[in-house]
Structure 1
Amino acid sequence: MTRTAEVNGITVSFDDAGIGPAFVLVHGHPFDRSMWRPQVASLTAAGYRVVTADLRGYGRSTVVPGLTTLETFARDTFALADHLGLDEVVLAGLSMGGQIAMECYRLFPERIAGLVLADTFAQGETPEGHAHRNRVADQLLAEGMAGYVAENLSKMLAAYNVEAMPDVADHVRTMMLNAPPAGAAAALRGRAERQDYQELLTNVTVPSLIVVGRDDEFTPVADAELMHRLIPGSTLAVIDNAGHLPNLEQPATFNAALHAFLEQ
């Protein structure tokens, strides 16, 4: 059952399922918490309490226009953890969610028992990237999500999976189309201002798993390999037959990597 919480001046819509050690999953852009359904089912069955929330500006959470930094998303994430009485969590994030997870580790390292970084990257923004994110934000505000979806669906999923997995493609398309343009634009502007996390990753002391789809165009395997080198003792899982969303494209393989990591 969907629940809501008042944190940091906004209403966050979230799900809290299962009983056991806490696992918090942070979605990417421009999605919502429903992207984690296969993982929620698998992790709760394995004895975990799993929290998934719509980030501010996405899903059914409050839309805050302007610019939303990764720090704001990270503080929202742990304000919700406070609301739920969670002292320590395993934290996973995909794409932008992975960068939010890195920011969480910068701010709240003592509250993170394990880290999962999926289809994300640690490098800071380039001048070209800064301009591009702000240009896309302008486009979303002016035109809505439809053009962005048409342009990017075949990069979110591996292009071959758009046709091979119509139900998955429809779910991803629906999440993207339903993303509030003002919220998505604010997140893009905030990511354009993000810091470089490479040095931070060299100081990570908790068990860490890095996952990437082998055919991810947005955050290629090389980005995952870099994070794997930076985080001491980390594990790397490359998921075949998947692009930027291996958790939805190959959920059984993705979940198996999660469980193997948790059982270490």
Structure 2
Amino acid sequence: MTRTADINGITIGYDDEGVGPAFVLVHGHPFDRSMWWPQVPVLTAEGYRVITADLRGYGRSTVVPGLTTLETFARDTFALIDHLGIDEEVVLGGLSMGGQIVMECWRLFPERIAGLVLADTFPQGETPEGRAHRNRVADELLATGMSGYAAANLPKMMASYNVPAMPRVAEHVHAMMLDTSPEGAAAALRGRAERPDYQKLLTTVTVPTLIVVGRDDEFTPVSDAELMHRLIPGSMLTVVDGAGHLPNLEQPAAFNAALHAFLDQ
């Protein structure tokens, strides 16, 4: 059963599992908190309290049309942490857009973060071409819905060879995309089109950081992960073989092993 919290003028759907230090996981676009289901039991077994929430516009959270910035998502994330009464520092992880939200959280709330996990994401600011593309896709989603987008992007979200090889995973990924509100997805795309460049910010990271990427990620290739690894002092880098943009779902054992090694250091 989905728990809900009223924060920042919206209702957030979330799960809160386990006891111990808080580990907050931020999902990517156009997904929801269920993308983290392979990680939650592993992290709770490691002694963490694991919080996964649906971002505004996604899953069971309030849809807010228009434009949603990464700063808004970041402030929602810590508003939920405050709502849950968590005063100690949290480990914060995110994948793709979720990773960029995590970077924004580091900009806004560095003193509240004990560690970072950046999965299949990139720190560069938007290009003019990228801004135009994201706004064009937002327009298309509002006009035609999620079905065409979901079909076209499934073999890019996962490594294309994993779609037929992992039908249950593919079904889950496809269903998350179909279930996403076009208005919510469009608002996030428009917000990401305005995002800043985080490369200089990453050089200021002073907490343990794990960077993970699927070997065959088309959206955020290994070179983006290597860039972040160079920028963040002392960071760990794990490249997951046999995976695309969603290694936590495509190769959960390898992804979870990377988390274990990171948390055990």
TM-score by length of 2: 0.99
Query: CA offset at residue 47 of structure 1?
Result: 1.0
Q: Secondary structure at the match of 1:38?
A: coil
User: 2:32 corresponds to which residue?
Assistant: 32
Q: Secondary structure at the match of 2:64?
A: coil
- Equivalent-residue separation in structure 2 for 1:226 and 1:12 (angstroms): 33
User: 1:85 corresponds to which residue?
Assistant: 85
Q: Secondary structure at the match of 1:206?
A: coil
- Equivalent-residue separation in structure 1 for 2:97 and 2:109 (angstroms): 18
- Equivalent-residue separation in structure 2 for 1:15 and 1:32 (angstroms): 11
User: 2:55 corresponds to which residue?
Assistant: 55
User: 1:102 corresponds to which residue?
Assistant: 103
- Equivalent-residue separation in structure 1 for 2:174 and 2:229 (angstroms): 31
User: 2:66 corresponds to which residue?
Assistant: 66
Query: CA offset at residue 57 of structure 1?
Result: 0.1
Query: CA offset at residue 200 of structure 1?
Result: 0.2
User: 1:173 corresponds to which residue?
Assistant: 174
Query: CA offset at residue 22 of structure 1?
Result: 0.4
Query: CA offset at residue 204 of structure 1?
Result: 0.2
> Pairwise mapping of residues 152-171 of structure 1 onto structure 2 (< 5 A)?
152-171=153-172
Query: CA offset at residue 150 of structure 1?
Result: 1.1
List gaps (5 residues or longer) in structure 1.
Answer: none
> Pairwise mapping of residues 99-248 of structure 1 onto structure 2 (< 5 A)?
99-248=100-249
Runs of 4+ residues over 4 Å off in structure 1: none
Q: Residue 188 of structure 1 aligns to which amino acid in structure 2?
A: L
Q: Residue 263 of structure 2 aligns to which amino acid in structure 1?
A: L
Aligned CA RMSD, in angstroms, stands at 0.4
User: For 1:36-91, what per-residue CA distance to the aligned partner results, in whole angstroms no more than 9, with x for missing partners?
Assistant: 00000110111110000000000010000000000000000000000011121100
User: 2:43 corresponds to which residue?
Assistant: 43
List gaps (5 residues or longer) in structure 2.
Answer: none
Q: Percent identity?
A: 82
Query: CA offset at residue 154 of structure 1?
Result: 0.1
User: For 1:139-171, what per-residue CA distance to the aligned partner results, in whole angstroms no more than 9, with x for missing partners?
Assistant: 000000011011110000000000000000000
TM-score by length of 1: 0.99
Q: Residue 86 of structure 1 aligns to which amino acid in structure 2?
A: I
Q: Residue 149 of structure 2 aligns to which amino acid in structure 1?
A: Y
User: For 1:15-41, what per-residue CA distance to the aligned partner results, in whole angstroms no more than 9, with x for missing partners?
Assistant: 000001100000000000000000001
- Equivalent-residue separation in structure 2 for 1:261 and 1:173 (angstroms): 30
